[in-house]
Chain A
């Protein structure tokens, strides 16, 4: 029987849990293809969700990890464009059938298989996500919210207590919900991911503690960090205020309530909807908010919701946002009579309902979370575990487990009587300050678990023992044992399942903590999806106080050392915490106490002060009067007064103002230091505004003929005529140098966070985290060891990257490379601009884009429309200045990085030191497989060309251009310049950017000689300008992050101008050759989500092999 089908449908757990790899071992490519064909037929007919998902993932793994790397199959092929657009538009089944047809037509090949793998992977995740969505909707207590479509059918009413003002008081009562956050004490290997709990409920278990928080050194005491306030107002609208985000809004239209991208209040909106106050089924109906609220709260009445999370920084890994959603759902459900009690804690069924509403809210808002995240709703220490679906559950017959887990609060017989105190004395909660995106990690985990990969499966089983140990240590009160277990959990199963959970920052912190405290440092615990943000450490009780101070200092120091290399969103903090024994609870404030938090008034007052008095309802005026008259805290009142004055008289906040002046000064300095060309900038701006340049103009004319290359257009990577020997000779004689392009920060890698990709220690190799740059130097070192002459290695930099790279190289002594290392500083800089709306529309509406999951897509569209509004308001084509200086500029494209080498004297220096130097291999920072390969070098030298560009067989992930015949001439075509999107998929080879350059011939292109390099810079600059004019300038849109508040980040699109190196192949007088190299040599690592496949498909091992670390 087909081993895959046997595995999927077996009732024996041992057979069912076999790993993909064990099943395909020993199969040839054709046997595997045949077996997968059967799996595909099975997939089409299987009715059980999990059989279908497992079959889909086996198909994915077969294509991605086995067939794609098989040397028996063709490496090039042609992905059909219609299948590609199906894939982008999430029509996965259609895409799969088109790709399978293409395979049948073309024969099995890596290009189409890569597309097929992508389609299977997406389909598997989509199927799972759809199931979660169905379960959320089908959950009892949520169903009605998807049916009610008319206000007359709306079943909720505001509780009469909230409409009843105390005798003599103007103020309506305020219902306040206080909600703790949750701390995951066991980290049971992400088993709380919904899919996994539903697939394998018996393996999904966590110990989860509700905690109150404060920031050490800032807050006087700990308290439930989340507060949600609700009251009725005498205005027919929904007033939403987030005190922490300084955002407030009167929502009067349903369309605004269901728009999650036009303000900072998306979480509050999702909470309002999920609470059932205005249920999801009202989206798109013709009702007004006033009508709905009139039904719920009475004619002319509205509802006000205010939230505050006590400034707990984002990324705490304590599920602040899920518990905030739960808090909002709880307070609004209480206010509308959906719970038995208005005040106090909730009943068990109500807690479950609140938790499922929080999940619904997350789904609505397009965010994600695990099923334990709303743990703050429950009190104390509890075990949360997956529950098998029973006949009365909507999941029955669909998945093994239920969507919502079971919560079991641990009682006195399961906990040591002093456990609360002991934990408080040893556990230290911190936020390391790193900005993180755990999304890719959660996908990796899901994929691995469902494929039952051997190592991960074993790790997962070992976690069950650790979990039992953790429970036992809570009973015995042995915190040291608990710390040992969480550390073991971290070092063994967690890191072996997902190596990317750790990073250089965390490893350094734990080492330093261990060094400073010796045996008094008891251990580490990861919180949430990955480390670097919220984390926990254990320490001997007598050292607790000292540890908090010292670890804070260590974190700050380590962050300062690494902030160029790793993305940080904020300064590290240490938390104070206490176990919360109540769970979420509410109290009704009445009479004079029925007030909102003081910062609410500071937020509301300025807006009210500006409005004409008669337009403000009496109640609001009277309330403000009451607040100022009543406050016994002079500081609070003074703060309010200051806010009112500065807003009323439009005097900017002095603190912000000083920051701004400092930023502007820094920006000016950058311009001066980097030779900013103001005249050229104004010309480009005028061109951009008038529409002479822009995204649409990047393209070649539509008449341009684009074809794939013909045989002979690219040299095969095969030894002939002694090419390898020739290359080896050149290496031995020291005639070759390396140039690593590191002028850009690699914004996709850190999603615009500003950390420098070249320095990012992203992977553990030979027991240490290594950065891109370190790996490149290690490859050069390998060549030096192999051939004797140490090749010079230059690193091109820019104003963004120069100082940090210099510092890191210095600190690490060039990562142990003994040969000469040069830094080639950038000589040009461009100012980023606020984009033109037409360019944004072109990018978002005309270019092919991957559609997201339904709800996420809605959120994205809302955000985009808000960003277009932003560009209009700020002024299209204006300089982008609302950010720190470094984010305002960009290096003007990698075209300049080689000419800079001429201009800044670095090449001259290299030639002085090594006159025999003839060839430079330049490569992108993320092309990890590029090395001084003698065969590639020999083939280049044999060709006699000025430059040889390495190209790789295209796969579906390779977006943007490739090697083409453009009107009959072979050249590299940039994606930006393609006249038609579909042309891209015709091109069988993709540009790796690795280029072998003959120095003297290149100088010739610029009209220079070696001697000129010593001469006046002006001559060289002029020569560069002449060639630059012949190379197109592209307008591109990049995302930059803007940080504010407590770890908050906004992403803005900015326009920038760039020239690209590959366009050198378009100059008729430059003799260019093309070398078709194996994929592993030329593939680039652009996105952190590619890390795991990179590590698993042999690419990592390939790179490791090339390196010689010290």
Chain B
């Protein structure tokens, strides 16, 4: 099995990032990556995939955004070279943008029928292959040097020949924000669990009753990491759900489909050795930026800045 395609969902309105996201797609907001280059968020995500061996990427976007993305990528490249003529880093970034442009395809989500529907929109692009699924507003920093987070998931999926969802042991008070998984540890596969049950944003009370996973630290649950390798069979389930939603209303959730898939075939969850950052959360952009900075070449500079800021705030606080 070879995973060579990826899907990034980016159709959300980005309401949490108002007002910036009001004028530009949130996936185009800039962050300085670990290599010192300032990139749009989507590029950082796409590079996560490309560095993990992905060859083609499909971005599911809001209707009308596909041309804008293409235009933005083109103008970014042109403006970059024009404004920073002769600069080595600009040339490097421009090359990357062209490579990215060649790898990316944009597919609009024509109806707002939920996250599951957004994924379903990629079914023609994916065809009959396993694929990597990523979110456009989550960035990742791996704790395994030389192995990206996406790579860890792809490795397991390739090894076991089944769908794998990235998960992270999450403190209990946060389970209400995430899809949460109950599973059984897999012998001989460190960090992997056979998925038994998935609930979308459960209350903690429900999680305790239904999503207990033995072997985790007390008060921790396996919550989705926002990164999956899925077998193409997911589209059959999603397809059924989409038809049902169109006829009787309601949303199509990926969680529901994954739950159904886990009943039919083996699905694993992998505790990814890495951290996830949600740029849409409160102070999310800031936190993500700091995390990228601390994981990259400017680590020393960032640490100094943080120390100065702390000292300053202590003085301002009179203490």
A156 and B204 within 8 A (CB)? yes
Bound CA span A50–B176, Å: 39
Report the nearest A residue to B172, measured CB to CB.
A144
B176 and A157 within 8 A (CB)? yes
Q: Encode contact with B along A150-169: 1 for CB under 8 Å, 0 otherwise.
A: 00111111000000000000
A155 and B203 within 8 A (CB)? yes
Bound CA span A515–B205, Å: 55
A338 and B208 within 8 A (CB)? no
A337 and B210 within 8 A (CB)? no
Q: Does B117 contact A (CB under 8 A)?
A: no
Q: Pick from B174, B205, B209 the residue with the most CB of A within 10 Å.
A: B205
A349 and B209 within 8 A (CB)? yes
Q: Does B219 contact A (CB under 8 A)?
A: yes
Provided the pairs A153-B171, A155-B203 are in contact, do residues A144 and B176 lie with their beta carbons within 8 angstroms? Answer: no
A147 and B209 within 8 A (CB)? no
When distances are taken between beta carbons in the complex, the residues of chain B under 8 Å from A339 are: 203, 206
Report the nearest A residue to B218, measured CB to CB.
A147
Q: B221 to chain A: closest CB distance in Å?
A: 10
Report the nearest A residue to B211, measured CB to CB.
A140
Q: Does A541 contact B (CB under 8 A)?
A: no
When distances are taken between beta carbons in the complex, the residues of chain B under 8 Å from A333 are: 203, 205
A353 and B173 within 8 A (CB)? no
Q: Does A142 contact B (CB under 8 A)?
A: yes
Q: B179 to chain A: closest CB distance in Å?
A: 15
Bound CA span A153–B177, Å: 13
When distances are taken between beta carbons in the complex, the residues of chain A under 8 Å from B218 are: 147
Bound CA span A140–B209, Å: 5
Q: Does A276 contact B (CB under 8 A)?
A: yes
Q: B213 to chain A: closest CB distance in Å?
A: 12
Q: Encode contact with A along B194-208: 1 for CB under 8 Å, 0 otherwise.
A: 000000000111101
Q: Does A591 contact B (CB under 8 A)?
A: no
Q: Encode contact with A along B165-180: 1 for CB under 8 Å, 0 otherwise.
A: 0000001111110000
Q: Pick from B174, B209, B212, B219 the residue with the most CB of A within 10 Å.
A: B209
B205 and A276 within 8 A (CB)? yes
User: Interface of chain A, helix or strand or loop or mixed?
Assistant: loop
Bound CA span A143–B204, Å: 10
Bound CA span A333–B204, Å: 11
Q: A227 to chain B: closest CB distance in Å?
A: 23
When distances are taken between beta carbons in the complex, the residues of chain A under 8 Å from B208 are: 140-144
Q: B210 to chain A: closest CB distance in Å?
A: 7
Q: B161 to chain A: closest CB distance in Å?
A: 30
When distances are taken between beta carbons in the complex, the residues of chain A under 8 Å from B174 are: 155
User: Interface of chain B, helix or strand or loop or mixed?
Assistant: helix
Q: Encode contact with B along A518-537: 1 for CB under 8 Å, 0 otherwise.
A: 00000000000000000000
Q: In the complex, which of the residues A148, A337, A338 contacts B173, with contact meaning CB atoms closer than 8 Å?
A: A148
In the complex, how many residue pairs between chain A and chain B have their CB atoms under 8 Å apart?
A: 60
Q: Does A336 contact B (CB under 8 A)?
A: yes
Q: A393 to chain B: closest CB distance in Å?
A: 11
B205 and A147 within 8 A (CB)? no
A336 and B203 within 8 A (CB)? yes
When distances are taken between beta carbons in the complex, the residues of chain A under 8 Å from B171 are: 153
Q: Encode contact with B along A117-159: 1 for CB under 8 Å, 0 otherwise.
A: 0000000000000000000000011111001100011111100
Bound CA span A157–B175, Å: 12
A338 and B219 within 8 A (CB)? no
When distances are taken between beta carbons in the complex, the residues of chain A under 8 Å from B205 are: 141-142, 144, 276, 333, 338, 353
B212 and A140 within 8 A (CB)? yes
Q: Pick from B203, B212, B219 the residue with the most CB of A within 10 Å.
A: B203
A430-462 contacts to B, CB under 8 A, are none
Q: In the complex, which of the residues A152, A155, A352 contacts B204, with contact meaning CB atoms closer than 8 Å?
A: A155
When distances are taken between beta carbons in the complex, the residues of chain A under 8 Å from B203 are: 155-156, 333, 336-339
When distances are taken between beta carbons in the complex, the residues of chain A under 8 Å from B206 are: 141, 338-340, 349-350, 353
Bound CA span A682–B126, Å: 98
Report the nearest A residue to B204, measured CB to CB.
A155
Q: A160 to chain B: closest CB distance in Å?
A: 13
Which size class do B's interface residues fall under? 10 to 19
Bound CA span A519–B229, Å: 75
When distances are taken between beta carbons in the complex, the residues of chain B under 8 Å from A338 are: 203-206
Bound CA span A349–B212, Å: 14
Bound CA span A333–B173, Å: 16
B149-172 contacts to A, CB under 8 A, are 171-172
Bound CA span A276–B219, Å: 16
A487-523 contacts to B, CB under 8 A, are none
Bound CA span A625–B156, Å: 66
When distances are taken between beta carbons in the complex, the residues of chain A under 8 Å from B204 are: 144, 155-156, 276, 338
Q: In the complex, which of the residues B172, B175, B210, B212 contacts A147, with contact meaning CB atoms closer than 8 Å?
A: B172
Q: Pick from A155, A157, A336 the residue with the most CB of B within 10 Å.
A: A155
Bound CA span A352–B208, Å: 13
When distances are taken between beta carbons in the complex, the residues of chain A under 8 Å from B212 are: 140, 392
Q: B259 to chain A: closest CB distance in Å?
A: 14
Q: A1080 to chain B: closest CB distance in Å?
A: 55
B181-205 contacts to A, CB under 8 A, are 203-205
Report the nearest B residue to A337, measured CB to CB.
B203
Bound CA span A333–B176, Å: 14
Report the nearest B residue to A275, measured CB to CB.
B205
When distances are taken between beta carbons in the complex, the residues of chain B under 8 Å from A153 are: 171-173
Q: Encode contact with B along A703-730: 1 for CB under 8 Å, 0 otherwise.
A: 0000000000000000000000000000
Q: Pick from B173, B175, B210, B218 the residue with the most CB of A within 10 Å.
A: B173
Bound CA span A142–B208, Å: 8
Bound CA span A148–B210, Å: 19
When distances are taken between beta carbons in the complex, the residues of chain A under 8 Å from B210 are: 349
Bound CA span A153–B171, Å: 9
Q: Encode contact with A along B69-111: 1 for CB under 8 Å, 0 otherwise.
A: 0000000000000000000000000000000000000000000
Bound CA span A350–B208, Å: 12
Bound CA span A643–B286, Å: 58
Q: In the complex, which of the residues B172, B176, B209, B219 contacts A337, with contact meaning CB atoms closer than 8 Å?
A: B176
Bound CA span A368–B256, Å: 41
Q: A408 to chain B: closest CB distance in Å?
A: 19
Report the nearest A residue to B199, measured CB to CB.
A340
When distances are taken between beta carbons in the complex, the residues of chain B under 8 Å from A157 are: 176
Q: In the complex, which of the residues B173, B175, B209 contacts A141, with contact meaning CB atoms closer than 8 Å?
A: B209
A155 and B209 within 8 A (CB)? no
Q: A781 to chain B: closest CB distance in Å?
A: 65
Bound CA span A338–B199, Å: 13
Bound CA span A148–B203, Å: 14
B176 and A154 within 8 A (CB)? no
When distances are taken between beta carbons in the complex, the residues of chain B under 8 Å from A143 are: 208, 219
Q: In the complex, which of the residues A142, A147, A154, A350 contacts B219, with contact meaning CB atoms closer than 8 Å?
A: A147
Bound CA span A551–B166, Å: 69
Q: B235 to chain A: closest CB distance in Å?
A: 27
Q: A352 to chain B: closest CB distance in Å?
A: 8
Bound CA span A153–B175, Å: 11
Report the nearest B residue to A347, measured CB to CB.
B206
Bound CA span A148–B204, Å: 11
Bound CA span A392–B204, Å: 18
A334-367 contacts to B, CB under 8 A, are 336-340, 349-350, 352-353
Q: B216 to chain A: closest CB distance in Å?
A: 13
Provided the pairs A144-B204, A144-B219, A337-B203 are in contact, do residues A154 and B173 lie with their beta carbons within 8 angstroms? Answer: yes
Top-10 shortest CB links A-B: A338-B203, A155-B173, A155-B204, A153-B173, A338-B205, A141-B209, A141-B208, A140-B209, A141-B205, A140-B208
A142-B205, A144-B205 known; 20 new pairs, CB 8 Å cut-off, are A140-B209, A141-B208, A142-B208, A144-B172, A144-B173, A144-B204, A144-B219, A153-B171, A153-B172, A155-B172, A155-B176, A155-B204, A156-B204, A157-B176, A333-B205, A336-B203, A337-B203, A339-B203, A349-B206, A349-B210
Q: List 7 A-B contacts (CB under 8 A).
A: A148-B173, A155-B174, A276-B204, A276-B205, A337-B176, A337-B203, A353-B206
* Chain A contact residues, CB within 8 Å of chain B: 140-144, 147-148, 152-157, 276, 333, 336-340, 349-350, 352-353, 392
* Chain B contact residues, CB within 8 Å of chain A: 171-176, 203-206, 208-210, 212, 218-219
